[in-house]
Structure 1
Amino acid sequence: MKKIEIYSSKKKSAPILIISLICFIGAVYILLTTNYSAITSIEKAILLKVLLSVISLFCGAGIYVSLKQLIKKKLFLIIDENGINVNPENSTSESIKWKNVESFSELKMHNQKMVLIEVNNPSYWIENESNYMRKKLIEFNLKNYGAPFVLSAISMDLNHDELLKVLYDNLGKFQHLT
């Protein structure tokens, strides 16, 4: 079987870049041009500065990530006869073997559909993850959603339904072989 590699989508990154740029420019403009002495309360002025600074940082991060994806496609998933490798560029962990995949389920949050990868050995993934942030993310996903791995097709080069179809097709093909 040929391995399936799923990359980031440049088409989906462009709108994120545009929205992030508009919000960033707007927040910085308001931050720099507001007459804070005209605000009646010092607390309100400080709150406004903090809020605009946070918005600027968040949108700046959006600009950075979307530019990075526009310049170079990011590899999100590798699917082959051995299993699923989630985020192979940034992960030192191994693939999720098909024999360990229980099922896939959908999570809908704020009109965004996500795919949960339910495994029969979630504690294994927590114990063997060496990256602290990724380990905490796996723990958070397991605690809140019941699965250690959550995938969103929002910035992938395929949509949610196509992602689910690819995952289910390969689970059906290879789960009984391992």
Structure 2
Amino acid sequence: MGCVLVASSIALILFPEKFTHRYSETVPFAIGIVGTLFFGACTIAALRIVIFKKIALSIDNNTLTINPGKKNTTALRWNEISGFKEVTVASQKFISVLLYNPEKNIEAETNSITKRLLIYNLKHYNSPYCFSANAYETNHNMLLNMLNEAWMLNTHKTIL
């Protein structure tokens, strides 16, 4: 889709006289330049997302790490997690990470926008951290089972 929009924008640059019903040739030419730059950048960004897969969730013996390697990395120790819960919003399933002391994690957040989002999530979903399996290469049930198994192994608890 992005390539089609870029090609259309290039056509405006190369053949502005064909698009001059009401306007001078400079208007379609300018729209073509802006469109080529914008849609070209969007296409490159989309391709980077598709080609370069990034780890979004990391599970080890000590922590569940959300967005590892990024600026807003969140590392939750297994002993801070009280479990996982499925939340449905407008037929979209989310996994909510239930914490023993969610206020502590919210207070530790330094970014004010992220802090407001965590407070909103806590108020509406009983947890500051919720995520969807759509962002990962697995389905919702497999991800929920994987998280529950890792939680049980690392906290030596059982799910009722």
Q: Which runs of 5+ in 1 are unaligned?
A: 1-17, 26-61
Q: CA 1:74/1:93 → structure 2, altered by over 3 Å: closer, same or farther?
A: closer
- Look up the match of 1:74: 54
Query: Does the 8 Å contact 2:84/2:97 carry over to 1?
Result: yes
- Look up the match of 1:157: 137
Highest relative contact order (Cα 8 Å, sep 6+), 1 or 2?
A: 1
Counterpart amino acid of 1:105? K
Which is higher, the Rg of structure 1 or of structure 2?
A: 2
Q: CA 1:159/1:143 → structure 2, altered by over 3 Å: closer, same or farther?
A: same
Which residue of 113, 132, 138 corresponds with 2:112? 132
- Look up the match of 1:168: 148
Counterpart amino acid of 1:128? A
Q: CA 1:68/1:125 → structure 2, altered by over 3 Å: closer, same or farther?
A: farther
Q: Which runs of 5+ in 2 are unaligned?
A: 6-41
C-alpha distance in 1 between matches for 2:124 and 2:146: 25
C-alpha distance in 2 between matches for 1:159 and 1:104: 16
CA deviations 1:40-99 (Å, max 9, x no partner) are: xxxxxxxxxxxxxxxxxxxxxx96764332131122111010020111233455511111
Alignment root-mean-square deviation, CA: 3.1
Counterpart amino acid of 2:66? V
- 1:101-120 correspondence to structure 2 within 5 Å: 101-120=81-100
2:48 partner SS: helix
- Runs of 4 or more, structure 1, over 6 Å off, are 62-65
How many residue pairs are counted as aligned between the two chains? Answer: 128
Q: Does residue 83 in structure 1 map to residue 42 in structure 2?
A: no
Q: CA 1:64/1:143 → structure 2, altered by over 3 Å: closer, same or farther?
A: farther
Counterpart amino acid of 2:92? Q
Calculate percent identity across the aligned residue pairs.
Answer: 30
Instruction: Give how far 1:175 is off.
Output: 1.0
Q: CA 1:70/1:176 → structure 2, altered by over 3 Å: closer, same or farther?
A: same
CA deviations 1:15-55 (Å, max 9, x no partner) are: xxx6xx5xxx6xxxxxxxxxxxxxxxxxxxxxxxxxxxxxx
